[in-house]
Amino acid sequence: MNADSFTEQLSTPHPDGATIALYRTRAYRFTSDVRHYVLAETLEERYAQGARPAPVTMAFLEATLDQIRSTGELLAFDPQVAANEGLDMQQELDARTPHAPRPMPEHSPQLTVFIVGAPRSGTSHMYNCLAHTGQYAYFTIASCWAWPVRNLTHPARRSFETMGKQILTVDNKNTRLIPGLVMPYEAEDLYARAIPTYEHLGGHTYNLTPARTTDVPLLAANMQAHCRHFDRSTFLTKSPFNSLRIPQLDAATGHRALFLNITRDQAATADSMRRNHFRFHHAGTPLAEESAWELFTNAIARDAPPSRTVTVQHSDLLTDEHTQLARIRQWIVEVAAAV
């Protein structure tokens, strides 16, 4: 797919490409059956190079996405779908083995910046704007917890850093649905395995639970792989769910992490959650969107270390983005020198 094709799809991603891209990211996140990953990656790479899957394959992907929306789980992998696409699954898995996460302490980030905030408060836009400067390593929409940067060097994929600032004006709901376009991403496929803090109930519905650490080495190895890939020593990452993981994340980074907290008006955030169908339960009890906002923002106020936290208002970012981003970047430099 050439540069013009990427640009054309920013406003209206093709439905088939969107299905393939969404299947891949959902597979990474909601199943540990890596055969789904291989099928999704191969289909996306072929699609980005002009080859369409068979209709029966597309039907399987669409049915799988419907199942995720309904129950939070994928359909069982169907080997016949892979066979129809001419995939030798064992060969593909063997080829990915060298890309599995492994400790690379020499590539550990010198500084890690966590963007936190309630869902629908502007964390993604902040993330994209900072990542687009080319100064940070970060997880991407093509990154996979099982083979962290294997996909990033494929010739069918193109980094959003090579595109103009127009890319920053497009909602992530579109950019994550364009096969081959590599955008910053929240990497919940990784965080949910390393420091789980919710149960996925289906669609955008989650039952929030106390965060617990299960696999920090996996998180560290993935960060190291991306620092090596980008050849950058500051790691930038965002997930609204990280607002609920601050003590664990701070401990995992040796109490040297920085927290960039973006806040948005409660009513506007709650309205955005409703419009985008984000729903949260806490300890099994459904929360009103306003209560969900309070839960996330209160966790940040309680847990984020004041000396290593800066707060940015979403409204200020919208009205004077240049000044706010310059302030944030200067803050990162100054605090980094002190930790």
Amino acid at 155: P
Q: Are residues 253 and 323 in the same domain?
A: yes
Nearest of 30, 44, 32, 63 to residue 1 by alpha carbon: 44
Whether residue 248 is found in the same domain as residue 309: yes
Res 10: pLDDT: 75
Please check whether residue 167 lies inside any domain of the structure.
no
Query: Residue 145 and residue 219: Cα distance in Å, rounded?
Result: 8
Question: What pLDDT score was predicted for residue 284?
Answer: 87
What CATH number should be reported for the domain holding residue 249?
A: 3.40.50
**Angle at alpha carbon of residue 6, lines to 5 and 12, rounded to 5°:** 90
Cβ–Cβ < 8 Å for 11, 174: yes
**Cβ count near 156 (within 10 Å):** 15
- The C-alpha atoms of residue 272 and residue 268 are separated, in whole angstroms, by 6
Which whole-number Å values give the CA distances from 162 to 7, 50, 137, 157, in the listed order? 12, 21, 15, 11
β-partners of residue 116 are 261
For residues 31 and 55, state if they share a domain: yes
For residues 218 and 317, membership in a common domain is answered with yes
Residue 228 to residues 100, 119, 138, 188, Cα–Cα distance (Å): 14, 30, 11, 21
Phi then psi for residue 180, to 5 deg, are 95, -20
Name the domain boundary from 98, 119, 150.
Answer: 98
In a domain, 173, yes or no: no
Burial letters 59-92, b for 16+ CB under 10 A, else e:
ebbeebbebbeeebebbebbeebbeebebebeeb
The pLDDT of residue 171:
81
Per DSSP, 304 falls in state S
pLDDT at 219: 98
In a domain, residue 206? The reply is yes
| Rounded mean pLDDT for each run of 10 residues along the chain, 339 residues in total | 63 88 96 98 94 96 96 96 96 97 97 97 94 96 98 93 89 86 96 97 95 98 98 97 98 96 96 96 94 98 96 92 92 84
Q: Do 80 and 112 belong together in one domain?
A: no
Q: Which pLDDT belongs to residue 172?
A: 80
Check whether residue 48 and residue 194 sit in a common domain: no
Helix (H) or strand (E) holding 330: helix 321-338
As a whole number of Å, the CA-based R_g of the chain is: 19
Residue among 276, 237, 202, 220 at smallest CA distance from 26: 202
Same domain, 287 and 312: yes
Distance, CA of 329 to CA of 324 (rounded, Å) = 9
Say how far apart CA 45 and CA 296 lie, in whole Å. 37
Distance in angstroms (rounded) separating the CA atoms of residues 185 and 152: 13
The reply to whether 84 and 122 lie within a common domain is: no
* Three-state secondary-structure class, residue 115: strand
Range of the structural domain that residue 93 is part of: 3-98
If asked whether residues 130 and 254 sit together in one domain, one would say yes
Structural element, H or E, at residue 260: strand 258-263
Residue 157 CB neighbours (<10 A)? 19
Q: Tell me 100's DSSP state.
A: S
Q: What is the pTM of this model?
A: 0.94
Domain membership of residue 171 (yes or no) is no
Say if residue 116 is in the same domain as residue 260: yes
Q: Show Cβ contacts of residue 311 under 8 Å, excluding neighbours closer than 6 positions.
A: 261, 262, 263
